[in-house]
Amino acid sequence: MNPTRFFILAIAIGVVITAYIIWKLQKFRETDTYQKSQRGIIKLLKWEEQMVLKFQTTLLGLFSKQKFRGTDTYHKSEEGIIKLLKWGERMVLKFQTSVLGLFSNKKNRRIKPALLLEILLIGIWAFWIGREYLNFDPSIIPSGREFSSAIQTHHVWTRFQECGWCALWNGTVRGGYPAFADTHGSMLHPFVIFSTLLLGVVNGAKFALILSFWFAGIAQWWIARELKFSRIPRLWSSGMAVVGGHLAGRMELGIFGVVLSTAMASLVFGAILSVANGKGKRAVVLLGITTASALLAGQGYIQAGLIGAFPAILFLIIDNKMRFNDLWKDYLVAFIIAGLLSAVFLIPFAHFSPNFVKDTDLEFKVAQPLKFIPLNYVIDSRDFYLNESLGKLPFPHLYTLFIGWVPILFAFYGLSNKALKKSIKWFISSSVLIILLISSGDALKLISYIWKGVGGIRHPPQIAGLTVPLILGLSAAGLDKLLKLDWPKLDFRFSENDVPQIKTFPTQWIIIILLVFSLYQGYKFTKFWIYTFEEGPEIYLVLEELQTDTLQWVEPPFGEHFYIEPAIRLGLKTSPGIMTYRWKDRNFPEAYLEASHSGQPDGTSEVLTNINTIVIYSRPDQEYAAVINETQKTPCQAQGTGGNLTVTCDAEYNGRLVIQENNWSGWKGWMDGKSVNIFGKQWISVEAPKGNHTYTFRYQPWDVPLGLVLSGAGIILSIFLWNSTSPLLDKILNNKKEL
């Protein structure tokens, strides 16, 4: 099955599941529990009812105007709103034609069951490998001490369920920041959005990890399909991708974003080959979608490596006479689509990026020397990754790439497969070399002479994981060539009922033993890293003691990642918490309450309680919101979530209200319903007259709406290109083949 049909089938299955969920929800809406409750998801469902009712009312209004469209006045006029209505009719007709074209085209409806079965088998293998994550008890979490902090940004969707657009501001760590500008989090990826909304943050992340394994396998299957290999090389290479050390090994630290982004970036390679094979506009759209998916998957390192490998595309768009072929237009359009689709992240990030800094390392001390990296493909010893041999540090998540000797030997043999075009061999080989140069730090050191900011890629060895799908593509080429050789045959002679019989055995099936062995090796390696454990009850005992009556900042034991996600789930605002970057030229707010088991933190003056070895300290004067002047300070009560804040003050003097929330473009304020001017270089501050007043603050940025509009434009452009039959467009792209 080609990828187009697979995605159409996936959408169809999604529609059926959605219809079932809607039917079940309708039954639930009739119960007393639904009618009386105002909590969480039920409140969201009631809001959705109101929106649907408004939409229906609007729709009925449009139908009531349908009679006007039949009049001579409408047909003869070309002015104002009537001209706009006619343009709208043409656009709707084109959209309807495009959608109907998907289902009326018999070619699109033919889905080979055998190919569907291949995708299903890859999924079964992926779910088996990640079966530990199918325990949906939220207290059971994947291994890796940073897993809890790696998924903290996913709470943007729990805040969205609670208060809608307030989720655009992440007010849970270090004074807050624009939520959609976070380069490290994966919160804007569709896998994270839907799994979080359906299953919650922890369980959604566990399910998204399994989907990542599955789609890494699908990506490998796609690469093998584009290279025109038979079923056995496709399935075997896909199975190896699922158990590759480039995915499982990252869970030693629990870095969710690296696993997701590696899987999504692997899909890009399949799409690049699809465009190279001249499969037309739909291949261009798929490349745009997969690239946008990789950009939205978060973490940053993998995206840097993927973009760094893009120059290898030159081998696909330059012919033997050193001239550009017409494919350069396809790649350009695909990357424009990717930019538009991911604009919901790129625009806020571009707006905010001058205001944050990240620790840098221009020596790239954690990078392993290039000459040793290839050994990580064949070393499966856990002890090896926990020591400092071969120029590495004892941190397995940085260096694991294990796939075994069998795929490596097949890959070398695959380079001699004449079925592979030279341009594709050069693309794959040069991509692998570029990625290895980046992951070893050698390429980054050269770039640092021009741009010091490259030092922010402090852990480049993780990028080497992008070489695995490319190497496995060559491994599939080697296996495909081996299977097509003229192997000797073994004849078994015997008699049955005194009649001589001869059974012939094709000896190439002996290769199956090597294939099974390599899969088993990979499976055993994953068991070192893919497992779960139960959160200790001490975590919640500590977090209960850190609860406050207002929105004061608090701090769990510093550097202990296990506390982060549960703290945010309970509504705590942590400072400094755990972030991979920080505001430029700003201090984070000091915690009102701080837990520690390594001595009394600076600035604390009181001991509130002890929980085993952990002591809760206090800074009584550290208020979240207060009216101050030169000599006085009056604490205020603050409530709210994300970008919705309400502060109540009763001061006996004039002063200024200072809220320890980072001031940034997009914040708007009101006092007793009247707009007030927000000032303050770091903290949100407004003039505060004496008396009892209520202040409300809302984060309403311009960058996210602009990003959403551009992403919507990307969706419309993708649909148009997918279904367009315009001769002019074909002439521009010069592609006559269809996917």
Q: What is the 3-state secondary structure (H, E, C) of 627-656?
A: EECCCCEEECEEEEECCEEEEEEEECCCEE
Which tens digit of pLDDT belongs to each residue from 529-586? 999 999 989 999 999 999 999 999 999 999 899 999 999 999 999 999 999 889 999 9
Cβ-based burial of 362 (10 A; exposed 0-12, middle 13-18, buried ≥19): middle
Radius of gyration of the chain (CA): 29
**Percent above pLDDT 70 for the chain:** 82
Mean pLDDT of 361-385: 96
* Distance separating alpha carbons of residues 686 and 655, to the nearest angstrom: 9
What number is the average pLDDT over the span 294-319? 95
Are the CB atoms for 373 and 464 separated by under 8 Å?
Answer: yes
Full 3-state SS string of 216-266: HHHHHHHHHHHCCCCHHHHHHHHHHHHCCHHHHHHHHCCCHHHHHHHHHHH
- Say if strands 674-676 and 667-671 run parallel, antiparallel, or are unpaired: antiparallel
pLDDT surpasses 60 at 108: no
Q: What is the DSSP string of 310-366?
A: GGGGHHHHB-TTS-B-THHHHHHHHHHHHHHHTHHHHHHHHHHGGGEE----TT-TT
Contact between residue 175 and residue 586 where contact means Cβ atoms under 8 Å apart: yes
Sign, Cα dihedral of 630, 633, 636, 641? positive
Q: How far is residue 630's CA from residue 655's CA, in Å, rounded to a whole number?
A: 8
Is 111's pLDDT higher than 90? no
pLDDT over 90 for what percent of the chain?
73
Q: Which long-range contacts (CB under 8 A, 24 or more apart) does 671-676 make?
A: 671/695
* Contact criterion met (CB below 8 Å) for 525 and 380: yes
User: Which amino acid makes up residue 515?
Assistant: L
> Is-contact 303 352, C-beta < 8 A?
no
CA atoms within 13 Å, Cβ hemisphere of 158:
20
The pLDDT-based confidence of 509 (bands split at 50, 70, 90) is: confident
Residue range 456-485: average pLDDT?
A: 96
Residue 730: burial class (beta carbons within 10 Å; 0-12, 13-18, 19+): middle
User: Nearest 5°: phi and psi at 712?
Assistant: -60, -40
Question: What pLDDT does 219 receive?
Answer: 98
For 313-318, what is the mean pLDDT? 96
Q: Binning pLDDT at 50, 70 and 90, where does residue 8 land?
A: very low
CA dihedral 131, 137, 138, 139 (to 10 degrees): -100
SS3 content of the chain, % helix, strand, coil (to 5): 55, 15, 30
Whether the Cβ atoms of residue 157 and residue 196 lie closer than 8 Å to each other: yes
> How confident is residue 124, by pLDDT bands cut at 50, 70 and 90?
very high
Q: What is the 3 state secondary structure string of 121-145?
A: HHHHHHHHHCHHHHCCCCCEEECCC
Pair of tokens at residue 161: 């369920």
Range in 90-99, 278-287, 631-640 the model is least confident about: 90-99
- Specify the CATH class of 625-703 in words: mainly beta
The pLDDT value given to residue 622? 92
Containing H/E element for 533? strand 532-534
Q: Does position 703 have pLDDT exceeding 50, yes or no? A: yes
pLDDT of residue 11: 47
Instruction: Say how far apart CA 355 and CA 119 lie, in whole Å.
Output: 44
| Residue-level pLDDT at 113 | 83
Q: What is the mean pLDDT of the chain?
A: 88
Answer whether residue 726 shows pLDDT above 80: no
Contact 158, 165 (CB under 8 A): no
pLDDT at 506: 76
What distance in Å separates the CA atoms of residue 110 and residue 128, rounded to the nearest whole number? 29
The token duo for 521 is 């090796």
> Distance between CA 275 and CA 739 in Å, rounded?
9
Residues 6+ apart with CB under 8 A from 17: none
| DSSP state string for 475-504 | HHHHHHHHHTS---EEEEEEEETTEEEEEE
Out of 19-33, 542-556, 582-596, least confident range: 19-33
Give just the sign of the alpha carbon dihedral 99, 102, 106, 109.
Answer: negative
Q: What's residue 88's pLDDT?
A: 63
The DSSP H or E segment spanning 674 is: strand 674-676
Q: Return the pLDDT at 115.
A: 86
Amino acid at residue number 225: R
pLDDT at residue 110 in the model? 52
Q: Identify the residue whose tokens are 């039949």.
A: 70
Judged on CB neighbours under 10 Å (0-12, 13-18, 19+), 43 is middle
Provide the pLDDT for residue 104. 47
**Extents of the domains making up the chain:** 3-108, 112-151+186-483+706-733, 537-603, 625-703
Element (H, E) at 534: strand 532-534
- Summarised one tens digit per residue, pLDDT across range 636-688 is 999 999 999 999 999 999 999 999 999 999 999 999 999 999 998 999 999 99
Longest dimension (CA), the chain: 115
- Tokens 């982004």 belong to 261
Q: Where are the beta strands (DSSP E) in 557-631?
A: 573-574, 582-583, 593-596, 606-611, 614-618, 625-628
Contact 319, 325 (CB under 8 A): yes
SS3 call for 151: coil
DSSP symbols for 163-220: HGGGGGEE-SBTT-EEGGG-SS--TTSHHHHHHHHHH-HHHHHHHHHHHHHHHHHHHH
d(CA 145, CA 56): 49
| Confidence grade of residue 737 (pLDDT, cut at 50, 70, 90) | very low
Residue 101, pLDDT score: 52
pTM (predicted TM-score): 0.84
Q: Tell me the pLDDT band of 729, cut-offs 50, 70 and 90.
A: low
Chain segment 337-372, per-residue pLDDT in tens? 999 999 999 999 999 999 999 999 999 999 999 999
Asked whether residue 48 carries a pLDDT value surpassing 80, the answer given is no
Using CA atoms, how far apart are residues 662 and 579, in angstroms rounded to an integer? Answer: 15
Taking the C-alpha atoms of 70, 76, 80 and 82 in order, what is their torsion angle to the nearest 10 degrees?
Answer: 20
